[in-house]
Structures are given as structure tokens and as C-alpha cells.
Amino acid sequence: MDKLLIHGGSPLAGEVRISGAKNAALPIMCASLLSAAPLRLTNVPHLRDVTTLLNLLGGMGIAVSLDEKLGLELDAGRLHTPLAPYELVKTMRASILVLGPLLARCGEARVSLPGGCAIGQRPVDLHIKGLQAMGADIRVEHGYIIARAERLKGARIASDLVTVTGTENLMMAACLGEGTTVIENAAREPEVVDLAACLKAMGANIEGAGSGMIRIEGVSALSGAEHRIMPDRIETGTFLVAAAATGGSVRLRNTSARILEAVLDKLREAGAKITAEDDAIVLEMDGPPTSVNLRTAPYPAFPTDMQAQFMALDCIARGTAVLTETIFENRFMHALELQRLGADIEISGNTAVVKGVAQLDGATVMATDLRASASLVIAGLVAKGETVVERIYHLDRGYECIEEKLSQLGARIKRIH
């Protein structure tokens, strides 16, 4: 299994290109299932989750091709098997995103339940309830969601919880439904807006994406389209936090300040100077960071996917920080590993109190999930001496060439096979 070897202590400096967003690419690739004509995508990140989804779509009969500019074409003209098997779904929960499109296009779908996840229970009941409200007949048998519907019907769907992939699944399904669907308390994440933009380019009738209420007027068929995937705001945030924690200065290209305002506010609070350009962000840090408190919540508030990285920054910041996680119940596993590097963290329920220490010391640590891995890499970059991060297959799910990009910024980091 691959590991990362990091010699900490050098401030990050220089320029790096941000990749397309994993969490936009995955739902948008699933949108290809809705049409018999090809969907052409650019700025698709080269990630393990993307490969997993390509395997899943390939098994259903979707033809996948890459053009000379690495544009990805997905052609679901010969979609023959509306099935998502356990072997693939268990490695990537986002596979549930095929459920809505398959049901809408084929009238049936068999999708394995994603099962537990390291960061909490993460059920899919809201996806199922929403589709049932649209007239689907759904049962769960032998670990599979078995769904049928002649043609989905427009419905008003409301839930107390905001769910990102749930909103995306229902929005995609409603595109081919009969009549009007209204999703109340919809997720407002920029990735939902990017998916809606792609669906509209395919001929869908959608209003309100990016607000708490999305209205979809069903159409009988969708066409092909071309779409460029938005930049990855979590990758952007991760590199900015790494630069701030190491006291560096970086310019990130192919990204936008507009998609991560809450994260930029926290970085300013930590002492970073941030300049937003048209399609780039510049961060300059002078001296050690100041502790920042944070509380995760659905967009536009502070994202849960950035909590672990800020915890690493708070470990070496001046002062004491209180971090509250409100989205996932078990998302502090990185804290135990950070403690192995000398961090002072106390966890009580969904709150972590982090007292900044003058220095972290390198050690061997183990990555437990995607964003936890990123926090350990950041801690390794600031720690004195050598840090080994084990089980980095989690990182490869969501960060494109992370060690190459960090090396480009002057980090001493290498992958050991």
C-alpha cells in the first residue's frame, strides 16, 4: 500500500492549478444516463472516484471515450443494465447518484445500498422517500434498492435535513418526470448549481438551483451537451490551509473565490491576506496563524469537508479553537492521529477543543477518510522532521496528484510504493 513521506518545515510558495471538482464531476457523469445522446465533459479530475464511476457506468452499457484534449465523452445510447453492484458501490457512496437517473430513463433500477461509512451512518432514506413521492415503487431486498416506475410524476418534496446528493438525485430524476417537481429545503452547494447548468444544457427545465427551493418541469427526453466541470472548492481550500499553516504564499489558478467565501473568511481570521482574481486566488501569510473557531453547516456556511484541514491549522495556531461538527457524527478521527504528532486536542461529542502548540513532531500516522488524510498531510508539512502518512488510497479518491502539486509548491513530499 502506498504511503506519503513528508519532511516538514518548508513554507509553501509558488503557483498551482486547481482541478475540476470531484463532487460536481460525479453527479454530472451520472446525468449522462438521462439521455440517449452523448455528454461531453471537460475539466474532469483524474481521481479514483471518477474511475470507479466510469467502471460502474461502463457495466451498464455506457460507452466512454477520451478525446485528445482529455475531454470525456459518455454515451448512454445503448444503456442496457440499470444495475449498480455492491462491489463498486461499497467503495464509493456517491454511486447512489445513479438511482434517480436510471429510474427516470429506464423505469427500473437495482442499486446496492452504500452501507456504513467511516465518517458516520450516512443513510439514503431521503433519496428513497423523494423518489417514492414521485410515484416510484421501491423496496430493499438483499442489500439492494429495487426501484420501479412507469414514468415518475412531479411532486412537492420536503425534508428537515439538507442533503447534497439527495437533492442531486431527485433533481435529475425529476427532469424526465411528468409535470412539476418542487424540492424544498434543497442543498445550495455550488456543485448542485453546476449539475443544474449541465442538465439545462441537455434541455432540462430547472429554476432555483443554488436557492433553497428548486423547481423542475419534466420533459420527455434530454439531448446531448457539452459542459465544463467547475473548480474543486475543497481542493482549493485544502491548498490554502496548507499554505497558511506553513506560513507560505501561493497563487491557485483555475479556481474562484466566489465558491468558498466561508473558508476564505476563516483564513483571513487566521491572519492570511487573500486576494481574489478573476480565476485565481492568492494567499500570503506572515507569521504563525491565529486560532479559528468554526461550526460546520450546509452551504453557504462552513463546509464539513474543510473541518479536518482547519483542525490541523489550529494545532499550531496561537490560542485555543473550538470546532463543532454538525453534519456527520463521527468526523473527528483525524484528531487521534494529530495527537500522535503532539497536538493538544480534546473531543467531547461533536465538539473539539484544540489548544495551539508551538510545534508538531513528525511521526507515522494513518489516514482514515478522504479529508482526514488531507489534514494529516497538512500537519506533516508543518511538523518538525519526518511524517509518514499511511493508507493514502483515501487521498487518491479525491485529490489529483496531491504530492506532485505540493512538490511544485516546494514541499518535501514523496510517495513510497
Stretch that binds ligand UD1, among 33-41, 122-130, 170-178, 332-340 (CB under 6 A): 122-130
State yes or no: residue 125 binds ligand UD1 (CB under 6 A).
Answer: yes
- DSSP helix/strand/coil, 21: coil
Q: Site mask, ligand UD1, residues 7-26, x = CB under 6 A?
A: ----------------x--x
Query: What is each CA distance from 324 to 4, 121, 135, 212, in whole angstroms?
Result: 29, 18, 38, 23
d(CA 134, CA 128): 10
Among 43, 163, 368, 375, binds ligand UD1 (CB under 6 A): 163
Asked if 126 is part of the footprint of ligand UD1 (rule: CB under 6 A), the reply reads yes
Torsion-angle region of 256 (φ positive above 0: left; ψ -120 to 50: alpha; else: beta): beta
- Long-range contact list for 257-262, CB < 8 A, 24+ apart? 257/281, 259/190, 259/230, 259/231, 259/233, 260/233, 260/236, 260/303, 261/300, 262/300, 262/301, 262/302, 262/303
Neighbours of 160 (CB within 10 A): 6
Q: Is 334 in the site for ligand UD1 (CB under 6 A)?
A: no
Residues with Cβ within 8 Å of residue 313, at least 6 apart in sequence: 241, 244, 245, 270, 289, 292, 378
Q: Of 138 and 280, which has the nearer Cβ to ligand UD1?
A: 138
Site string for ligand UD1, 168-197 (x = CB under 6 A): -----------------------x------
Q: How many CB atoms lie within 10 A of CB 229?
A: 24
Asked if 166 interacts with ligand UD1 (CB under 6 A), we say yes
Is the distance from CB of 53 to CB of 241 less than 8 angstroms? no
Tell me if 212 contacts ligand UD1 by CB under 6 A.
no
- 324 vs 346: CA distance, rounded Å: 12
Report the site for ligand UD1 in 294-313 (rule: CB under 6 A): 303-305
**Which residues make beta-bridge pairs with 282?**
251, 275
Residue 53 in contact with ligand UD1, rule: CB under 6 A: no
By CB under 6 A, the residues from 78 to 117 that bind ligand UD1 are 93-94
By CB under 6 A, is residue 327 in contact with ligand UD1? Answer: yes
Closest to ligand UD1 by CB, 170 vs 378, is 170
Q: Which one, 274 or 297, has the nearer CB to ligand UD1?
A: 297
Give the separation between CA 311 and CA 309, rounded to whole angstroms. 5
| Pairing outcome for strands 63-66 and 13-17 | unpaired
Closest CB to ligand UD1 among residues 199, 382: 199
Q: Contacting ligand UD1 (CB under 6 A), which of 127, 188, 334, 394?
A: 127
Q: Which is nearer to ligand UD1, 28 or 285 (CB)?
A: 28
Least separation in angstroms between CB 126 and ligand UD1: 3
- Closer residue to ligand UD1, CB minimum distance, 105 or 122: 122
- Work out which of 164, 170, 229, 260 binds ligand UD1, going by CB under 6 A: 164
Task: Tell me the closest approach of the beta carbon of residue 170 to ligand UD1, in angstroms.
Answer: 10
Task: Note if 117 is an active site residue.
Answer: yes
Minimum distance from CB of 118 to ligand UD1 (Å)?
Answer: 12
Residues β-bridged to residue 144: 112, 141
Shortest CA distance to 230 belongs to which of 16, 25, 17, 15? 25
At residue 43, φ and ψ (nearest 5 deg) are 60, 35
User: Interface with ligand UD1 includes 70 (CB under 6 A)?
Assistant: no
Least separation in angstroms between residue 164's CB and ligand UD1 is: 4
Nearer to ligand UD1, 126 or 202 (CB): 126
Who's near 63: CB < 8 A, 6+ residues apart?
A: 73, 74, 75, 77, 78
Site for ligand UD1 contains 124 (CB under 6 A): yes
Of 119-127, 224-232, 306-314, 315-323, which part binds ligand UD1 (CB under 6 A)?
119-127
Q: Which of helix, strand or coil describes residue 320?
A: strand
By the rule CB under 6 A, 165 interacts with ligand UD1 = yes
Q: Running DSSP on this structure, what letter comes out for residue 317?
A: S
Q: How far apart (Å, rounded) are the C-alpha atoms in residues 309 and 326?
A: 16
Count residues binding ligand UD1 (CB under 6 A).
23
Q: Report how far residue 133's alpha carbon sits from residue 335's, in angstroms, rounded to the nearest whole number.
A: 41
Q: How far is the CB of 344 from ligand UD1 (least distance, A)?
A: 26
**Out of 117, 175, 315, 401, which one is annotated catalytic?**
117
Interface ranges with ligand UD1 (CB under 6 A): 23, 26, 93-94, 120-127, 161, 163-166, 191, 303-305, 327-328
Residues with catalytic roles: 117
